[in-house]
């Protein structure tokens, strides 16, 4: 990745806009902005970041489209529109003799005094510029890192334990520690409150900080966290042994998964009181595909062989150790309609298997079609830098006054949403706190009909990212600001309001809204207009997870 200039610490910012950037509009010319521009240019001369090989600070006027021609194409982030004036600080920070990270701090002119760290995704390797820009535009001093390597593949982790350490915990921790110092040095005063926002790997990073670095944040919003990371990766790799290749007799085609989905809905959709293709509590659905067996009444072309029935039933079964301990929960039903086929059931080696290949087996040629059951134990035993992220005693975070907002889409086709309540219940057991007590500082919400961090047929616009705002002009209606209100005004979110939009078009017509309930309650339809959130109620039920 080529940065905006190749200046080193101490050099003067020669141009406010990177040579390869394009200013779409010029700054308004307000005195404030002029002062701010000068402040950023001065900062470029005096900013010092320990252990860094490269530091730069650039004033970025509102309306600039930053180009990132050298960001790894796998990151799919060639450019970023910057909507507010800000000072962009970059550094390459050494984290050991064999590792380092790329760091960014976007310091908005209109600063609220808040600090925020974004997270990463998958095995990346990518600064999530869209999250940095969004949160900076809302007045947070926002930081990000590339998580210690570039791109989306697991290859940079191969035989590089220090790079794995960055990925497991150190990149986000370093980014926050450095970021808070940079923010303080720039604005001349410390931040008021600090926040974290991330999903998937970003969700795991948030949980990791809560577990191991409880002092760093006042509020953490962690979505679809990739916790139980070792077993999650083994689970990801094991689907291919269940489905076989797409010519195998155990394989279930995408069309047949459509048949399975309909059959599952016929058994489970009404459990929440409304037949709408969305399960509010998939844990109530113990679906088996047996009724689809050919020659048992299911029509030809829409029926499964015994082997295919077995494939489906295995996918929907918890993965257990020989002694009965659940290693990783089943895939939750519903996800087959929200991406699980593409991620896991298509008979191909999943790109989600890189962790097994490069880190667990340390063999780039490891044949993932040769999955053997001992992989579970091998992966679990390795657990580098405790990347498992399963520590249940998070009392230190509670005791420092932290708030943890945890959410998970129930149609997630990459990380089973069944794993999230298991973590909540482990915290409940470890701390001997009942939900009424946990509610004071830890709340978990299931987002019905939401896929992996985004999308799905449900009311998935919850404002966990900019593109997940139902209305971009109303950023207050978001998980992010729900968390801020909880921390700063002690207004705990009773539910997370989600919106479904016609054609999934942001800012467009509302299809329906729903108030997503917090665990351990479920959303139940009470009658009336199902599109109105008022027709639903969070009720106690006999959760089975
Ligand atoms: C800084 O790190 C990025 C991302 O890893 C890299 O592409 C770039 O070459 C580094 N820049 C310098 C000046 O070292
Ligand atoms: C700089 O790196 C060295 C060696 O890795 C480490 O001991 C030291 O704590 C780092 N300094 C800071 C301020 O992070
Ligand atoms: C600054 O931020 C505040 C609150 O975050 C907002 O109300 C105000 O409109 C912003 N001002 C400018 C000039 O962007
Ligand atoms: C089956 O898998 C092969 C690769 O193994 C692929 O080329 C082919 O397109 C797949 N067929 C279908 C119907 O998906
Ligand atoms: C059961 O097996 C798992 C996985 O090997 C292990 O972690 C766990 O400690 C075992 N539990 C008991 C009660 O032996």
Q: Is the pLDDT of residue 16 over 80?
A: no
Pocket test for ligand 3, best of 62, 107, 110, 484 (most atoms within 8 A of CB): 110
Q: Which residues line ligand 1 (CB under 6 A)?
A: 1, 3, 6, 53-54, 70, 92, 102, 146, 150
Alpha carbon distance 180, 143 (integer Å): 9
Half-sphere exposure of residue 536: CA atoms within 13 angstroms, side-chain side? 23
Please report the pLDDT score of residue 535 as a whole number: 98
Q: Quote the mean pLDDT of the chain.
A: 92
318 CA from centroid of ligand 4 (Å): 28
Residue with CA nearest ligand 1 atom 14: 54
Whether 261 contacts 345, CB under 8 Å: no
Spell out the domains of the chain, with CATH numbers in brackets: 6-227+386-495 (3.40.50.1820), 231-374 (no CATH)
Q: Which residues line ligand 3 (CB under 6 A)?
A: 110, 112, 139
Please report the pLDDT score of residue 545 as a whole number: 56
Residue with CA nearest ligand 1 atom 6: 1
Beta bridge partners of residue 220, listed in sequence order: 196, 404
Q: Is the pLDDT of residue 22 over 60?
A: no
- Interval 498-505 mean pLDDT: 96
Q: Kindly report the CA angle at 434 between 428 and 438, in degrees rounded to 5?
A: 75
Please report the pLDDT score of residue 7 as a whole number: 26
pLDDT band at 1 (very low <50, low <70, confident <90, very high): very low
Q: Is the pLDDT of residue 430 over 90?
A: yes
131 CA from centroid of ligand 3 (Å): 18
pLDDT band at 509 (very low <50, low <70, confident <90, very high): very high
pLDDT band at 161 (very low <50, low <70, confident <90, very high): very high
Residue with CA nearest ligand 5 atom 4: 321
pTM comes to 0.93
**Residue range 82-140, pLDDT digits in tens:** 999 999 999 999 999 999 999 999 999 999 999 999 999 999 999 999 999 999 999 99
Q: Give the three-class secondary structure for 510.
A: strand
Residue with CA nearest ligand 3 atom 8: 110
- Ligand located closest to 254 CA: 4
Alpha carbon distance 363, 380 (integer Å): 17
353 CA from centroid of ligand 3 (Å): 44
Q: Is the pLDDT of residue 442 over 90?
A: yes
* H/E stretch holding 102: strand 99-108
pLDDT band at 69 (very low <50, low <70, confident <90, very high): very high
Q: Is the pLDDT of residue 29 over 50?
A: no
Please list, in sequence order, all residues whose beta carbon lies within 8 angstroms of the beta carbon of residue 196, skipping any fewer than 6 positions away: 116, 117, 119, 205, 206, 209, 216, 217, 219, 220, 221, 222
Please report the pLDDT score of residue 542 as a whole number: 83
Whether 103 contacts 36, CB under 8 Å: no
- Percent of the chain at pLDDT exceeding 90: 89
pLDDT band at 439 (very low <50, low <70, confident <90, very high): very high
**Residue range 317-374, pLDDT digits in tens:** 999 998 999 999 999 999 999 999 999 999 999 887 899 999 999 999 999 888 888 9
In angstroms, the Cα distances linking 420 to 35, 329, 390, 494 are: 47, 10, 11, 18
Q: Is the pLDDT of residue 9 over 70?
A: no
Please report the pLDDT score of residue 297 as a whole number: 75
Residue with CA nearest ligand 1 atom 12: 54
In angstroms, the Cα distances linking 78 to 20, 68, 73, 115, 129 are: 12, 5, 7, 26, 10
- Percent of the chain at pLDDT exceeding 70: 94
More confident of the two residues 432 and 10: 432
Q: Structure tokens of 162? A: 């220090």
Q: Is the pLDDT of residue 30 over 50?
A: no
195 CA from centroid of ligand 3 (Å): 19
353 CA from centroid of ligand 4 (Å): 19
Residue with CA nearest ligand 4 atom 13: 246
Ligand 2 atom at minimum distance from 50 CA: 13
251 CA from centroid of ligand 4 (Å): 12
- Residues catalogued as catalytic: 200, 412, 452
Question: Phi and psi of 516, rounded to 5°?
Answer: -70, 130
Please report the pLDDT score of residue 406 as a whole number: 98
Among candidates 183, 168, 108, which has minimal Cα distance to 389? 168
Please list, in sequence order, all residues whose beta carbon lies within 8 angstroms of the beta carbon of residue 325, skipping any fewer than 6 positions away: none
């Amino acid at each position: 990745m080529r940065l905006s200039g190749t200046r080193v610490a101490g050099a003067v910012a020669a141009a406010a806009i990177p040579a390869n950037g394009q200013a779409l509009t010029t700054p308004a010319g307000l005195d404030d902005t002029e002062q701010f521009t000068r402040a950023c240019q001065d900062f470029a001369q005096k900013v010092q970041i320990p252990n860094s090989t490269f530091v730069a600070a650039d004033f970025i006027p509102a309306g600039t489209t930053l180009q990132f021609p050298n960001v790894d194409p796998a990151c799919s982030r060639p450019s970023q529109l910057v909507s507010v004036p800000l000072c962009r600080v970059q550094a390459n920070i050494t984290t050991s003799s064999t590792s380092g990270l790329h760091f960014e701090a976007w310091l908005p002119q209109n600063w609220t005094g808040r600090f925020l760290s974004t997270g990463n995704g998958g095995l990346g390797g990518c600064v999530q510029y869209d999250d940095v820009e969004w949160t900076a535009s809302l007045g947070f001093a926002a930081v990000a890192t590339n998580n210690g390597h570039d791109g989306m593949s697991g290859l940079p982790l191969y035989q590089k334990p220090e790079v794995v350490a960055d990925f497991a915990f150190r990149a986000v921790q370093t980014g926050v520690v450095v970021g808070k110092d940079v923010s303080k040095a720039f604005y001349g005063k410390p931040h008021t409150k600090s926040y974290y926002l991330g999903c998937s790997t970003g969700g795991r990073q948030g949980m990791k900080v809560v577990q191991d670095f409880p002092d760093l944040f006042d509020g953490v919003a962690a979505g679809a966290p990739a916790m139980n990371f070792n077993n999650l990766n083994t689970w990801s790799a094991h689907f291919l042994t269940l489905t076989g290749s797409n010519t195998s007799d155990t394989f279930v085609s995408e069309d047949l998964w459509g048949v399975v989905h309909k059959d599952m809905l016929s058994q489970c959709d009404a459990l929440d009181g409304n037949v709408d293709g969305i399960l509010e509590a998939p844990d109530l659905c113990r679906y088996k595909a047996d009724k689809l067996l050919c020659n048992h009444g299911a029509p030809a072309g829409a029926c499964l062989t015994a082997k295919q029935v077995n494939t489906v039933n295995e996918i929907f079964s918890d993965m257990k150790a020989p002694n009965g301990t659940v290693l990783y929960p089943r895939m939750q039903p519903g996800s087959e309609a929200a991406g699980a086929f593409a991620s896991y059931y298509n008979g191909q080696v999943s790109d989600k298997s890189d962790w097994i290949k490069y880190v667990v087996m340390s063999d780039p040629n490891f044949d993932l079609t040769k999955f053997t059951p001992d992989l579970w134990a091998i992966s679990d035993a390795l657990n580098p830098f405790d990347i498992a992220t399963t520590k249940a005693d998070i009392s230190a975070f509670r005791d420092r006054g932290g708030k943890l907002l945890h959410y998970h889409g129930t149609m997630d086709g990459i990380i089973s949403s069944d794993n999230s309540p298991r973590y909540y219940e482990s915290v409940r057991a470890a701390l001997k706190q009942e939900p009424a007590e946990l509610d004071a500082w830890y709340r978990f919400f299931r987002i019905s009909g939401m896929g992996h961090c985004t999308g799905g047929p449900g009311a998935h616009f919850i404002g966990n990212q900019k593109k997940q705002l139902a209305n971009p002009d109303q950023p207050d209606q978001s998980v992010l600001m729900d968390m801020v209100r909880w921390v700063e005004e002690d207004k705990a979110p009773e539910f997370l309001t989600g919106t479904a939009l016609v054609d999934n078009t942001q800012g467009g017509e509302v299809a329906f809204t729903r108030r997503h309930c917090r665990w351990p309650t479920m959303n139940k339809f009470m009658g009336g207009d199902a599109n109105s959130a008022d027709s639903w109620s969070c009720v106690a039920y006999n959760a089975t997870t």
